Amino acid sequence: MVNEPVRDKPVAKALGDKPLPKPQLPRLTDDPIGDPASPASAWNIANALTVFRLALVPVFLLALFADGGHRTSWRVLAWVVFAVASITDRIDGDIARKRGLVTEFGKLADPIADKALICAALIGLSALHDLPWWITVVILTREIGVTLLRFWVIRHGVIPASRGGKVKTLLQAVATGLFVLLPIGSWIKPIAWTFMTAALIVALATGFDYVARAVRLRRVSRAGTTGVSG
């Protein structure tokens, strides 16, 4: 008769009571959307900046369309509002990460505020016949599509803003701001078109890159989960 090995009771109890840890999902870099929410209150400086940016959207539109939409003084004011809102887009995420102020509200409100600002600017400029509608449609389709894509794969991991995406954001902000300033003089139009063309090219390239990375991220995550469960 073969004696069965005696299993150490404390080890057996530990193994029996505690499930094996789940594999960590792939994470490419820090990103507020993928960061776990902190216990910090939603009433914090980072979220306040996000709400402020969202509140500036109707102010921007009022200035953009004031007095027929082509008065230089009002367009300069619209540009100032757009510039301030764009700056808050840069700093609120940095503050949230550095100070541990990432909240569920912030993760939802931040991308909404970002897209609301650029959507309002591009649609407004197209409505005033300063920017062709097809450019607005292409850019907004890319912006909204990428945002939805990031939320779609969030349980598998994080698709961070790539270097190309950051360049696109900068080019897009500069180009949009220049189009807002068109009434200043005809000399600004070729500069605005140069930046908008570059922003459009980079936007399309990074959009396809996001799709490829999302597919790869889901595939890697599913393969890892299947390997552990099997």
* Contact (CB, 8 A) for 85 and 56: yes
**Token pair listed for 174:** 């500069």
pLDDT of residue 147: 77
In the structure, what pLDDT confidence band is assigned to residue 201 with cuts at 50, 70 and 90?
Answer: very high
User: Is it the case that residue 73 has pLDDT exceeding 80?
Assistant: yes
Q: Is residue 213 part of a domain?
A: yes
Say which CATH number the domain at 125 has. Answer: 1.20.120.1760
User: Is it the case that residue 76 has pLDDT exceeding 70?
Assistant: yes
Average the pLDDT over 184-213 and give the result.
Answer: 92
Over the chain, what is the mean pLDDT? 79
User: Is it the case that residue 7 has pLDDT exceeding 90?
Assistant: no
- How far, CA to CA in Å, does 149 sit from each of 70, 105, 116, 155, 165? 37, 19, 17, 12, 14
Q: Is residue 163 part of a domain?
A: yes
pTM of the full predicted structure? 0.73
CA atoms of 97 and 78, how far apart (whole Å):
30
Full DSSP string of 188-227? HHHHHHHHHHHHHHHHHHHHHHHHHHHHHHHHHHHHHHHH
In the structure, what pLDDT confidence band is assigned to residue 159 with cuts at 50, 70 and 90?
Answer: low
User: Is it the case that residue 228 has pLDDT exceeding 50?
Assistant: no
In the structure, what pLDDT confidence band is assigned to residue 17 with cuts at 50, 70 and 90?
Answer: low
Query: Per the structure, how many domains does the chain have?
Result: 1
Q: Is residue 6 part of a domain?
A: no
**Token pair listed for 148:** 């939805």
Residue 196 CB neighbour total at 10 angstroms: 22
Average the pLDDT over 145-150 and give the result.
Answer: 80
Q: Is residue 200 part of a domain?
A: yes
- Supply the range of the domain harboring residue 89: 35-220
Q: Is residue 82 part of a domain?
A: yes
Q: Is residue 23 part of a domain?
A: no
230 or 109: which carries more pLDDT confidence? Answer: 109
Q: Is residue 64 part of a domain?
A: yes
Q: Is residue 46 part of a domain?
A: yes
pLDDT digits (tens, 9 = 90+) for 90-147: 787 777 677 676 677 777 777 788 889 999 999 999 999 999 999 999 999 998 888 7
